[in-house]
Structure 1
Amino acid sequence: MTFSISARCARTGRFGIAVSSSSPAVAARCAHARAGVGVVATQNITDPTLGPKGLDLMAQGLSADEVMARFKEEAPHFDYRQVVVLDKTGHSAGHSGVKTLGTHTIAHAPDVAAAGNLLSSKAVPQAMVDSFLSMPDADLGDRLVAAMQAAVAAGGEEGPVHSVGLLIVDKVAWPVADLRIDWSEGDVMAEFAALWQLWKPQLEAYVTRALDPSTAPSYGVPGDE
């Protein structure tokens, strides 16, 4: 009931993850990223603790493969989990436990990995990776949103998608993008793309407002003269 894409932008050093599901508020449970460290996607029968745990291990210097090995040794009920770990070099490791639901697979390439379960076909994650790789000079957010749209075009999940989220981290301690549609009965992927287009031109201004408000653009709200 979930498909996701985890990625690094080799040009900027940003990391990001986009994830969608038929369940509500998918990004709150499944999307984890840390600036300068990497990405963890934890899905299927989700264990949200694996996100921060994996990021902490990578921050200590472990590679994606080493983190996955630790998970396999230590994480409870790991047969139920589908997990992707992408490290600071852009290398990724993936796991789909024997109890992963429905049609499932993981596709990998340098700087990107896509995973899904309860999919309409095993072609979906590769379509996401192909989309991401086809836009090497584009903004990381644009590439992730396009990959999610490519997943839907390739058949997406067996059931309807109702929630989607995007998490992007850069050089600061907080996410520079943390966008979520926690439930929609409409065209959630179109709503998601529109939300990103609304946020994208404001992203840098919000970082500046946090770091040095005196140099930030005006807020553009009533009463801000």
Structure 2
Amino acid sequence: MDLILLLPVLCVVALPGGIAPAPLAHTYSIVARDPATGEMGVAVQSHYFSVGPVVPWAEAGVGAVATQSLVLVDYGPNGLDLMRKGLTAQQALDSLVRADTSSDVRQVAMVDAKGNVATHTGKKCIPDAGHKAGNQYSCQANLMANPSVWPAMSAAFEKAQGDLAERMMQALEAAQKAGGDIRGKQSAAIVVVKAQASGKPWADRVMDLRVEDSQDPLKELRRLIRLRRAYILEDDGDNFIAAKKPDEALKAYEDAAKLAPEVAELKFWAAVSMYANGREADAIKMFREVFSHEQQWVDLVPRLAQVGLFPNDPKKIEEVQRQRPHSRLERGR
């Protein structure tokens, strides 16, 4: 009788037949391509610590891969490499499955830059396990509480509105609502890349967010996505400033602040940019709001002036610093 050795502390299984130990990333995930934008991505949740570095893989202009169950992580980078060389998702997956002597315990899904989808659920994946593919997406799951999880993901994704990240998040939330991982929940991740590669991989990732360990990883992942969207808007504002479009910049900065009102730093840097580009009145209002919540930003203004990031004019610096709220003692003087 073959012996399967469970190492719960490391979350690793030593497979029979001398196969190398494999991480236990039993989970549910979705790989997808947005037909409208060409963006591709992976979203995943699991009762497994730090699922983000293991399951989701994506590259702009190439495709996306989810590798899970008793994971052979190689499917991720190797699948992308084969698709980069021109193989379709199905051709890449077939090639890797043929070379894997333990493919029966793997679950892998791929989507290529043209929207072709391929999925493999090994017959020895722990039940309930299965997948459902649709137009330019695939939902897959194993070790689930019941077999309704991946169909629920598929239905939610097809009905969802919004960008790719939002639609994939709704698929994950539907999976959890349908029962999810029989063990519970612990970590989650989402990766979204642009349709075309720019030659700068760091600039091609629209989202790359991870929740390593949480009692409610999907709730936390939603919070991180909201913050990421706010910072994207802040970047848009900076780009409008560089293009000498201050009205558009102000709108982007205001939208960023509304999306993440708890992050005073977003509004501070927006104020710095607006003030330095001739919109002092708008900036003064922003500075006043920031200083009313977090006064440490007051002392940063002259430091920015020292390095050319704010007008090095004592009167202007004083004007900004006067926006801080005064103590009751100071007001009584």
Identity of aligned residues (%): 31
Q: Deviations over 1:45-68 (max 9, x none)?
A: 111111110011111111111112
- Counterparts in 2 of 1:204 and 1:69: CA distance versus 1, 3 Å: farther
Q: Which has the higher contact order (CA 8 A, sep 6+)?
A: 1
Q: Please name the residue that 2:193 is paired with.
A: 169
- Counterparts in 2 of 1:151 and 1:34: CA distance versus 1, 3 Å: same
Pairwise CA distance, 1:205: 4.7
Moved more, 144-153 or 93-102: 93-102
Whether 1:104 and 2:129 are equivalent positions in the alignment is yes
Q: Quick one: which amino acid aligns to residue 114 of structure 2?
A: T
Q: How far, CA to CA, are the matches of 1:208 and 1:166 in structure 2?
A: 25
- Counterparts in 2 of 1:207 and 1:125: CA distance versus 1, 3 Å: farther
Whether 1:149 and 2:173 are equivalent positions in the alignment is yes
Number of equivalences: 222
Aligned mate of 1:187, from 208, 216, 224:
216
Q: Check the 8 A contact 1:19/1:164 in 2, yes or no.
A: yes
- Counterparts in 2 of 1:206 and 1:129: CA distance versus 1, 3 Å: farther
Q: Deviations over 1:64-84 (max 9, x none)?
A: 111121012213422221100
Q: Quick one: which amino acid aligns to residue 143 of structure 1?
A: R
TM-score, with length taken from structure 1: 0.89
- The structure where helix makes up a greater share of residues is 2
Secondary structure in structure 1 of the residue aligned to 2:52: helix
Aligned mate of 2:104, from 79, 103, 110:
79
Q: Please name the residue that 2:64 is paired with.
A: 39
Secondary structure in structure 2 of the residue aligned to 1:27: coil
Pairwise CA distance, 1:168: 0.6
Q: How far, CA to CA, are the matches of 1:6 and 1:213 in structure 2?
A: 36
> Which protein is bigger by CA-based radius of gyration?
2
Instruction: Identify unmatched segments of 5+ residues in structure 2.
Output: 1-25, 244-248, 254-265, 270-296, 305-309, 311-333
CA RMSD in angstroms comes to: 2.3
- Counterparts in 2 of 1:212 and 1:83: CA distance versus 1, 3 Å: farther
Q: Please name the residue that 1:21 is paired with.
A: 46
Instruction: Identify unmatched segments of 5+ residues in structure 1.
Output: none
- Counterparts in 2 of 1:25 and 1:205: CA distance versus 1, 3 Å: same
Q: Quick one: which amino acid aligns to residue 154 of structure 1?
A: A
